């Protein structure tokens, strides 16, 4: 589908002219003469681009621009403001309001179209493959153009055409053709010049060019080769031969890479002209527009700086002698600003003295031209500066690419080193882990064997040799047995703690309510004499490792059971609370509680807040619970007061994929 342009201008001439220009460039368009019409059009249609006059009979174009920018459907649509020049303020206001481009009237229609195409290209870059088969045909004879076009298209090429050299160059910038076929004899600049300009443009210079000519003589051929054409053909050659030549040229150039990122020298360029004389300003602007440049006039150095702040230009033509901010000072400020200092600046003055020239160059100007020079010279100088700037840009981009490559190499190296180091760490960690594994294996196996002997032989002494022991001796043996038992418990608890830290989490849906009830049943079976009531909230569901959740409740309920031993009606409660929007599980008892000033010791291994004779324990249980909760990414804490029971809170957040703790 062809992109549609909305053209809003109260002048019928402008509407007709631009409408036609865009149609020729492959757009459809909608023409509006007032803001009311434009608003109506925007509300029903979709536009790729808007061209908007600032002064309209029913209002201010910039106000309409504001509306476009605030509506989501048009906020990103490129808008080009088109306005009768002179008022610097309008330009500044328009660009600040979000215009993508501001073109002064009288406008150059090819410039407007080229700029529009550039804006759209910026928005959605054309695919490279689409370009690679495009042929540009430049010939002033429509018959020949069409004939060649149909032959090429029949062979699968996309074809763009131009009737003059100037138009051809603009089309080349826009279409970036894979090959250019250009007639040697053209109105305006001739074919050789077209090729020479292409060769002078960093972005286009690698495009193969074929020069066509009607002349029999050798001079045409020499001209063509001189200009840098890749091939030379006579017009009377069969179109088949032309086709074959195009294919051959394309094949041979297929391997050469093209720097497409460099802005083309032949693309639309904007020149800021600064002069206090309105007459002179108009004169220069007219000359430059004739060359296809967009001209932004400024009446003073101050205006120039104001304009630069809102709109970049490709070249600056600056009068040396001006009231207010002088040319030198303006030049110094421009060259002193990072964003502007690379813009080619040509000092322009009526003074012929070498001092003036030196002064200008010293202020940082790139070139100097006398006002007396004729306009050919002016244009040539401007072109030269633009070309110089492009080469600089190209060099810079090459330097940047090299730097980028170096950076990439450095980044790749450090990434590799990081991976290697990481690999070493993982290896070391794994070896430490398996050491630990082996260690805890021997702990569980070898440390228990002597304990069994201590306990066993003490018991045998008590049972079989009691007669030869007095009461004290028997008491000592009992103590030996108790100590062995206790050490056995310690070993088991330590093993569990270390296993909890290493085992992989097998997360699944776990019903904490039923775990709590089952653990409580076990506690009751182990100590049926105790009267303890349990109330459990139903359906406490989490994503967790069920084995480890059981360990959590064995410890928390075990503690609650233990510490409520001295209470008459012992009560344990298991449930949830909402704290700061997070589900918090709790286990609450009405037992002995503890002093909160020791709370931070609770979860460290071997820390005990009660004596062994008050409440027995290894001091490892809560450390294990803490580690389990931590491995699930949750938190655990407690609140209590002495003789007022204790509440243990913990959270089990949902598993985050890819996170291993």
Footprint of other proteins on this chain (CB under 8 A)? 441, 444-446, 448-453, 455-460, 463, 481, 484-485, 488
Least separation in angstroms between CB 626 and other proteins: 23
Per-residue burial over 363-387, b = 16 or more CB atoms within 10 Å of its CB, e = otherwise = bbbbbbbebeeeeeebeebbbebbb
d(CA 119, CA 226): 35
Nearest residue to 207 via CA among 229, 240, 223 = 229
Q: Which is nearer to other proteins, 457 or 606 (CB)?
A: 457
Instruction: State which residue, 117 or 458, has the beta carbon closest to other proteins.
Output: 458
* Beta strands 636-640 and 646-650, pairing class: antiparallel
Q: Give the max Cα distance, the chain.
A: 139
Least distance in Å: CB of 481 to other proteins? 8
Pick from 449, 456, 445: which is nearest to 480 by CA? 456
In this structure, what token pair is assigned to residue 433?
């882990």
**Structure tokens given for 121:** 């290209």
Shortest CB 455 distance to other proteins, Å: 5
| Residue where the block lists tokens 């003295």 | 353
188: which DSSP letter? Answer: S
Nearer to other proteins, 441 or 606 (CB): 441
Contacts of 422 (CB under 8 A, 6+ apart): none
Structural contact between residues 281 and 273, judged by C-beta atoms closer than 8 angstroms:
yes
Distance of closest approach, residue 440 Cβ to other proteins, in angstroms: 9
**272 contacts 314 by C-beta, under 8 angstroms:** no
Nearer to other proteins, 3 or 488 (CB): 488
Q: Which is nearer to other proteins, 46 or 457 (CB)?
A: 457
Secondary structure of residue 386 in the 3-state scheme? helix
| Smallest gap from residue 458 Cβ to other proteins (A) | 8
Q: In this complex, which beta carbon is closest to other proteins, that of residue 219 or of residue 453? A: 453
Closest approach, Cβ 465 to other proteins, in A, equals 12
Least spacing, CB of residue 489 vs other proteins, in Å:
9
What is the smallest separation between the CB atom of 529 and other proteins, expressed in angstroms? Answer: 20
Nearer to other proteins, 139 or 455 (CB): 455
Nearer to other proteins, 404 or 433 (CB): 433
* Least distance in angstroms from the C-beta of 491 to other proteins: 9
Smaller CB separation from other proteins, 411 or 438: 438
- Residues 501, 507, 511, 517: what is their CA dihedral angle, to the nearest 10 degrees? -30
Considering the complex, state which of residue 431 and residue 453 has its C-beta at the smaller distance from other proteins: 453
Q: Provide the token pair at 140.
A: 């002033």
Structure tokens at 160: 């763009």
The answer to whether 43 touches 64, Cβ cutoff 8 Å, is: no
Residues 552, 534 contacting (CB under 8 angstroms): no
Joined tokens for residue 341: 């200092």
Q: Which of 286, 375, 264 is nearest to 107 (CA)?
A: 286
Nearer to other proteins, 361 or 495 (CB): 495
Minimum CB separation of residue 459 from other proteins in Å reads 4
Count of CB atoms situated within 10 Å of the CB of 149? 18
Cβ-based nearer residue to other proteins, 451 or 583: 451
Residue 460 tokens, joined: 């045998």
Residue placing its CB nearer to other proteins in the complex, 449 or 659: 449
Query: Would you say 166 and 190 are in contact if contact means Cβ atoms under 8 Å apart?
Result: no
Residue 109: its H or E element: helix 109-123
Q: Across-strand partners of 162? A: 138
Residue 221, C-beta contacts closer than 8 angstroms, at least 6 positions apart: 213, 232
> Considering beta carbons, is residue 408 or 489 the nearer one to other proteins?
489
Residue 618 Cβ, how far from other proteins at the closest point, in Å?
14
Distance CA 306, CA 103 (A): 16
579 neighbors 569 (Cβ within 8 angstroms): no
Dihedral angle at the C-alpha atoms of 43, 44, 46, 51, nearest 10 degrees? -60
Q: Smallest distance, Å, CB 442 to other proteins?
A: 9
CA distance 92 to 100: 12
Q: Which of 605, 627, 625 lies closest to 617, judged by CA? A: 605
Indicate the SS3 state at residue 243.
helix
Token pair in block for residue 334: 């421009």
Shortest spacing between CB 550 and other proteins, in angstroms: 15
In the complex, what is the shortest distance from the CB of residue 443 to other proteins, in angstroms, rounded to a whole number? 10
Residue written as token pair 């001189």 = 226
């Amino acid at each position: 589908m062809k992109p549609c342009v909305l053209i809003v201008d109260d002048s019928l001439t402008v509407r007709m002219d631009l409408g036609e220009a865009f149609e020729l460039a492959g757009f459809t368009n909608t023409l509006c003469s007032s803001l009311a019409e434009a608003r109506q059009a925007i509300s029903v249609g979709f536009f790729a681009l808007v061209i908007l006059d600032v002064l309209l009979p029913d209002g201010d174009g910039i106000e309409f621009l504001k509306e476009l920018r605030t509506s989501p459907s048009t906020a990103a649509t490129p808008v080009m403001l088109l306005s009768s020049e002179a008022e610097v303020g309008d330009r500044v206001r328009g660009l600040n309001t979000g215009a993508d481009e501001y073109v002064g009237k009288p406008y150059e229609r090819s410039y407007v179209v080229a700029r529009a195409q550039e804006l759209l290209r910026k928005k959605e870059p054309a695919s490279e493959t689409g370009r690679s088969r495009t042929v540009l045909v430049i010939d002033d004879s429509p018959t020949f153009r069409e004939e060649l076009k149909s032959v090429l298209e029949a062979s699968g090429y996309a074809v763009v055409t131009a009737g003059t050299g100037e138009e051809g160059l603009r089309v080349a910038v826009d279409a970036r053709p894979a090959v250019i076929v250009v007639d040697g004899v053209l109105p305006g600049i001739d074919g050789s010049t077209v090729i020479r300009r292409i060769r002078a443009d960093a972005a286009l210079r690698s495009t193969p060019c074929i020069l066509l000519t009607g002349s029999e003589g050798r001079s045409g051929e020499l001209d063509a080769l001189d200009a840098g054409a890749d091939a030379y053909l006579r017009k009377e050659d069969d179109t088949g031969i032309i086709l074959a030549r195009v294919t051959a040229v394309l094949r041979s150039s297929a391997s050469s890479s093209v720097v497409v990122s460099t802005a083309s020298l032949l693309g639309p360029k904007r020149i800021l002209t600064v002069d206090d004389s309105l007459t002179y300003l108009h004169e220069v602007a007219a000359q430059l527009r004739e060359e296809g440049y967009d001209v932004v006039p400024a009446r003073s150095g101050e205006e120039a700086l104001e304009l630069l702040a809102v709109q970049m230009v490709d070249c600056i033509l600056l009068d040396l002698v001006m009231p207010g901010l002088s040319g030198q000072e303006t030049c110094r400020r421009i060259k002193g600003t990072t964003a502007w200092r690379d813009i080619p600046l040509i000092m322009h003055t009526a003074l012929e003295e070498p001092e003036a020239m030196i002064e200008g160059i010293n202020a940082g100007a790139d070139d100097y031209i006398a006002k007396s020079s004729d306009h050919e010279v002016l244009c040539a100088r401007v072109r030269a500066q633009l070309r110089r700037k492009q080469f600089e840009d190209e060099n810079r981009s090459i330097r940047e690419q090299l730097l980028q490559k170096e950076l990439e190499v450095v980044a790749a190296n450090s990434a590799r080193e990081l991976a290697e180091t990481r690999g070493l760490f993982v290896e070391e960690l794994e070896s430490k882990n398996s050491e630990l594994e082996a260690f805890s294996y021997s702990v569980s196996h070898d440390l228990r064997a002597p304990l069994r002997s201590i306990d066993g032989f003490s018991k045998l002494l008590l049972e079989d040799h009691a007669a030869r022991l007095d009461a004290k001796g028997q008491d000592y043996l009992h103590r030996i047995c108790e100590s062995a038992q206790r050490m056995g418990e310690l070993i088991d608890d330590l093993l569990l703690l270390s296993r909890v830290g290493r085992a992989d989490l097998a997360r699944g849906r776990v019903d904490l309510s039923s775990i709590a009830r089952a653990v409580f049943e076990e506690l009751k079976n182990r100590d049926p004499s105790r009267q303890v009531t349990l109330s459990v909230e139903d359906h406490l569901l989490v994503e967790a490792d069920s084995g480890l959740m059981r360990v959590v409740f064995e410890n928390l309920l075990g503690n609650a059971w233990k510490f409520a031993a001295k209470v008459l009606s012992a009560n344990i409660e298991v449930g949830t609370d909402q704290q700061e929007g997070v589900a918090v599980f709790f286990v609450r008892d009405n037992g002995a509680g503890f002093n909160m000033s020791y709370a931070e010791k609770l979860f460290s291994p071997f820390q005990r807040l009660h004596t062994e004779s008050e409440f027995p324990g290894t001091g490892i249980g809560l450390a294990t619970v803490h580690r389990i909760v931590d491995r699930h990414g949750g938190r655990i804490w407690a609140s209590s007061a002495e003789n007022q029971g204790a509440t243990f809170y913990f959270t089990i957040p949902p598993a985050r994929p890819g996170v291993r703790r």
